[in-house]
Amino acid sequence: MYIIFLGAPGAGKGTQAAEVARKLKLVHIASGDLFRQALEQGTELGIKAKSYMERGVLVPNQITIEMVLERISAPDSKRGAILDGFPRNLEQAEALDKALSREDKAIDKVVYIKVSEEELLRRLSGRWVCRQCQTPCHATDSPPRVPGRCDRCGGELYQRPDDTEESIRKRLEVYSVETAPLIDYYRRAGKLLEIDGVGGVAEVAGKITAALGG
């Protein structure tokens, strides 16, 4: 089973995708996390991606598609995967469809999480992320039990360098120009599940589980 999580930055894709991956025992593949890991490890891929990420624009398709398709072809993804943050434009979506169809596979469902722009800005500017396990929390909505430490693994919390106001605005603009057309692409394919992303994590998770058929 291959499920895509689609939505603007700050819509809650990462949190919800991780939850569904745990429930369905599928790997959670987040393209942004793959880039951040590469950056932290100082690999060639990380160095190539750095300047794009800092500016809040998309890393070129060739680099991104190669990275994600390689990850999807790993043994732990053979049963399926939860894709988070990929695809982010039509070229990526078509490359993914093609790669899966070569193995007689296809995307099953696309979970599109809808949240207003005002709420996205509020969520992103208060977001803190664990350096170790990437779990996000929010300064006021879901503050950590121990200040500066991740509730899940105790790792150090930090604010992503691209969660500045300028970069957030750029990423939202990139989303509406490049990624939003995917909503129609998957709607036409009959795969889109539209989820209202307003509400607490558990409430939204409940709506997603129901839409995916329990």
CB of 39 to ligand AMP, least distance (A): 9
| 72 burial level (CB within 10 Å; 0-12, 13-18, 19+) | buried
Does residue 64 touch ligand AMP according to CB under 6 A? yes
- 3-state class of 202 per DSSP? helix
Q: Smaller CB distance to ligand AMP: residue 9 or 144?
A: 9
Instruction: Please identify which residue in 7, 12, 32, 144 interacts with ligand AMP, judged by CB under 6 A.
Output: 32
Q: Rule CB under 6 A: which of 121-180 touch ligand AMP?
A: 162, 171
Residue 171 annotated among the catalytic residues of the structure: yes
Write out the DSSP string of 41-105. HT-HHHHHHHHHHHHT-PPPHHHHHHHHHHHHTSGGGTT-EEEES---SHHHHHHHHHHHHTTT-
Cβ partners under 8 Å of residue 202, min gap 6 = none
Site string for ligand AMP, 86-105 (x = CB under 6 A): x-x---x-------------
* Residue 102 falls in the annotated catalytic set: no
Minimum gap (Å) between residue 26 Cβ and ligand AMP: 18
88 noted as active-site residue:
yes
- The whole-angstrom separation of Cα 34 and Cα 57 is 16
Residues listed for the chain: 214
Active site residue 145: no
Choosing from 105, 160, 169, 191, which is the catalytic residue?
160
- Which residues are near ligand AMP by CB under 6 A? 9, 31-32, 35, 52-53, 56, 58-59, 64, 85-86, 88, 92, 162, 171
